[in-house]
Structure 1
């Protein structure tokens, strides 16, 4: 006899097959199917605030490449996610967020236009309209997340919750789960006429530089672009999110843009053309204190047509896979041995650059500068780490100096400009990362998400959390001073952060000197959630972009 189940039971069992780890907060909209999910062996990570559920799903998706899943309740449960949802949408994270519309009626105080809010955040929307189409609707939501590379908000309406399934919908015929970490759509092969146009443009460039971004993070693209660089004698630069892609390559010159070191900036300013693979050309990448692209020829290769609209100045736009385009260009372009030798010599100057030789120690009598702290931390942290950063004044320097050894192991929650999302995103990453997860946050951002310290302790997520604690909203401190106003108005009298963390079940300690940092034994991953409260000086600025 076939088991008769209802929609909530089916959804819980579907999720147990399709997403082994799910993040969320229970409420009337989801408690029944989440109970079924846990009964079926699913790992449900309960958060303190719904925004954290979306950020954690986002963090897991960034590490694995597979679709992450979050679940929240009606109305305010969903509106609490909107900042995190917008960040995930702008980062192009494939996640599915379940919520639910309320039953119709004037007395239902949690009514809300879910579709309109999802659209405003940049997310897609699906409604589970009927019990008869539940399997197809669920599969479509997950496929859209992968195909469109963005969050999909799924409405499981209260009217459908607990409804019996028709006879033809059974758990015995549950769709095979899709745990793929590759895009659902194969990147297009570059059109020959676009390759022709790119070849003509590149041939006219005398001092080319190749820039690779997140869209080139595949072994095939990495190798093909590296070979093209050798052929053209073009130095190889990356965006922040593709950092390390060309590590060890003789033409590697590191990061392009506001985080570049001096020798790299000099080389970039002398370039008369850029060949761009899978990278955005925003002001942080395309500029230092000036627009590096101004007056230069720009050839941009990307598998996403929207990338060309966002980039502004592009002379030749090639729609297609980064690796395939690099191989096609290499077959058509002549080699430049003289330029290769010169570029290797210039790249060697970049490799030999030691920032410590060019920095002075800034100190006003309190704590550390972020620069000194970041340099010391990079010495003692595990080399093979995954770094997740929040936003705050600390990023201008810490992003230069704290990184892992493998490409694609740095991410940030800065595409929407919010603070407070970094901790939760790091926790989500920690549920799937094979590398130790290091989270970089400011004290203000941590206080916005302080409840998630309890989430980490309950779930046993061994994140190493570094708090650059200047006792202020640091960016505002700098800006107030710049306006000639009293910067002390941005100071905050926080509780002691290490004491707070211990109260949540974390290990924690405070450091205020380079010597204390260097004395830490951090080369091995932590086994329990651990917080390091790094006291830094609010009066020392290192805005260098």
Structure 2
């Protein structure tokens, strides 16, 4: 390296060097006067592909989807103030789902921070805003510390419990010439080779004594790569496996012991309540997945989680194991090989019966959409990544009856916000280009980030959008009807989605029956081009039973005394 090159090494170069060191291959975002030095440094370095989103919100969702589909770090780059604020809601989603995302944002010039002078893009307290939306927010305060600070931010995002970390860098710092002195870790510890697992004998006593065990698997199973161990443990001890929304793929959903994402349903509640041992793994026990915590857990409850804050947070545990789920489960499986275990055949038959009855009863509510469900599962390869926005069809059957067989092939908005599906699917497809990615969305939510269709087309991503068009917010219509007997602010004017999609470089068709849908899905899958199938819900017809939202949703909104 020449003396001239050393002198011109800047903060922005140090940022990019750390991204490359961390294995970053793709970054999402929008170029701005408050991040332009970083963009230029990425261009000059040459190995990171920049995806130009149409909004900061979408860019953050893309980084999130990329991370969920690949298990790698997602990177999003935004501008200052309004730009960073636009990304905040999407970072909340990444926080809710425990997804490792690095959010790089600019800041006003360091000399103007906190002055309120009206520097362009100024925010009253951007760091606090991002702290509220992220796992952690960090400000670079000394350009010569760039490499160390960026590396710390990346490690913080990846360290369990993972989550989005914001790093803001004042614009005058980004072009500052700094030394290129390397930062090296002097002690490197490999968790797999240097960790001693200490499982109390009480664990094995509880497991051996259980005759009706239930495993409740959450997103922590997926993030730790523990799906194989979950299935091994379930088969060894004869456990039913319930999954959270984020835990889908913890066990193949055609497995006879897999109850799946049905925790809030009556039959599953009864199974859990009559269990004599619950083993929960990396799960938050969210309100909507437990009927506002009305599911009754058994007294004997072994909790496995990497987060100390998760201990007894929603359900008390008789024994809490804090650490990496994969290592703990592997230790349990290896040790249980030396124990005498005899799963109860009658209980296994009961589990399979519950599993089948849940699916049979839910299918009865679908009406004509049962044919669309079956068309999707029969046409799409087993490893297809299914991304679901918050919409009726996704909630009712996309998250329950469309079987998931592998980890990291099921993505849904853990925080419940609408409109994040499209950019999340784009990020997933960027990370897994050879894998089909299918998005289920409703017209209302889809319009929130509709501009990102142009991003998908520009990147020539072969995502398939299945858009359920009922010209409104269908879930809220049903909840309002049940709660008040009337509707307000739920009807929407839909554009001609086929023409809209075609104008943005998508192949598109509108269908009005299950037969048409299956034919168009086959065509879209074969084309390997950006595609949209618009499901005309009026033409297809109503579901056999309207979806009224999560259990108890309508009751919660009826007038009552507090």
The more displaced of 484-493 and 511-520 is: 484-493
**Which of 101, 114, 122 pairs up with 2:134?**
122
Q: What's the Cα RMSD here?
A: 3.4
| Counterpart Cα distance in 2 of 1:534 and 1:265 | 34
Matched residue, 1:179 = none
Distance of 2:255 and 2:82 partners within structure 1: 53
DSSP-derived class of the 1:431 partner: helix
Partner of 2:423: 424
Q: In 2, distance between residues paired with 1:440 and 1:508?
A: 15
Question: TM-score, normalised to structure 1's length?
Answer: 0.86
Distance 1:66 1:219 in 2: 12
Structure 1 residue 58: Cα displacement = 0.9
**Contact 2:441/2:468 (CA < 8 Å) preserved in 1?**
yes
**448-457 or 322-331, which deviates more:** 322-331
Q: Equivalent residue of 1:311, what SS?
A: coil
What's the CA shift string for 1:220-275, capped at 9, x where partnerless? 84444444434433233333333343338965223153476x87666445423312
Q: What is residue 239 of structure 1 aligned with on the other side?
A: 244
CA distance in 2, matches of 1:409, 1:187: 31
**Rounded Cα–Cα distance in structure 2 between residues aligned with 1:183 and 1:87:** 30
Moved more, 501-510 or 406-415: 406-415
Q: Distance in 2 between matches of 1:228 and 1:403?
A: 21
- In the alignment, does 2:305 pair up with 1:302? yes
Return the offset for 1:362.
6.2
Query: Does the aligned pair in 1 maintain the 2:442–2:469 contact within 8 Å?
Result: yes
Q: Does 1:159 align with 2:172?
A: yes
Change over 3 Å in CA distance of 1:501–1:133 after alignment to 2: same
Q: In the alignment, which residue of structure 1 is the partner of 2:68?
A: 62
The aligned residue for residue 392 of structure 1 is 391
Q: Tell me the residue number matched to 2:86.
A: 80
Partner secondary structure for residue 174 of structure 2? coil
Decide whether the 8 Å contact of 1:301 with 1:322 is kept in 2: yes
Q: Does 2:56 match 1:46?
A: no
1:264 and 1:491, CA in 2 relative to 1: closer, same or farther beyond 3 A?
A: same
Aligned 8 A contact 1:256 1:286 in 2:
no
| Aligned pair partner of 1:17 in 16, 20, 28 | 20
Aligned counterparts, 1:208-247, within 5 A: 208-217=213-222, 221-247=226-252
Q: Give the structure-2-normalised TM-score.
A: 0.83
Q: 1:205 to 1:360 in 2, by over 3 A?
A: closer
Query: Distance in 2 between the 1:184 and 1:533 partners?
Result: 48
Matched, 1:146 2:158: yes
Equivalent residues of 2:254, 2:405 under 8 A apart: no
Q: Residue 461 in 1 paired to residue 461 in 2?
A: yes
Change (3 A) 1:109 1:245: closer
Note if contact 1:422-1:441 (Cα within 8 Å) is conserved in structure 2.
yes
Tell me the distance in 1 between the aligned counterparts of 2:20 and 2:450. Answer: 32
Decide whether aligned partners of structure 1 residues 362 and 61 sit closer, same or farther in structure 2, where only a CA change above 3 A counts. Answer: closer
Question: Cα distance, 1:529 vs. partner?
Answer: 1.2
Question: 3-state SS of the aligned residue for 2:313?
Answer: helix
1:68 deviates by 1.2
Is 1:278 the equivalent of 2:278?
Answer: no
Q: Which moved more, 1:324-333 or 1:17-26?
A: 324-333
Query: How far apart, in 2, do the equivalents of 1:519 and 1:353 lie?
Result: 30
Q: Are the counterparts in 1 of residues 272 and 297 from structure 2 also a CA contact under 8 Å? A: no
Q: CA deviation at 1:53?
A: 1.1
Question: Structure 1's 340 and 205: CA in aligned 2 closer, same or farther, altered over 3 A?
Answer: closer
In structure 1, C-alpha distance between the alignment counterparts of 2:366 and 2:262, rounded to whole Å: 24
Q: Secondary structure at the match of 1:125?
A: strand
C-alpha distance in 2, partners of 1:456/1:304? 36
Cα distance in 2 between the residues matched to 1:249 and 1:380: 17
State whether structure 2 residue 456 is matched by structure 1 residue 450. Answer: no
Is 1:374 aligned to 2:379, yes or no? Answer: no
Q: In structure 2, how many angstroms separate the alpha carbons of the residues matched to 1:204 and 1:299? A: 13
Is the 8 Å Cα contact of residues 521 and 533 (structure 2) preserved in structure 1? no
Instruction: Report the Cα distance in structure 1 between the residues aligned to 2:278 and 2:355, rounded to whole angstroms.
Output: 21
Contact 1:403 1:410 in 2 (8 A): no
The Cα of 1:285 is off from its aligned counterpart by 4.1
Specify the alignment match of 2:557 in structure 1: none
* Mapped partners of 1:188, 1:91: distance in 2: 27
Distance 1:472 1:198, change over 3 A: same
Aligned partners of 2:55 and 2:242: how far apart in 1? 39
How many equivalent residue pairs?
525
Contact 1:388/1:425, CA 8 A, preserved across alignment: yes
Alpha carbons of 1:542 and 1:526: their partners in 2 closer, same or farther (altered >3 Å)? farther
1:535 is matched with 536
SS in structure 2 at match of 1:402: coil
User: How far apart in 1 are the matches of 2:529 and 2:152?
Assistant: 38
**Residues in 2 aligned to 1:221 and 1:353: alpha-carbon distance in whole angstroms:** 28
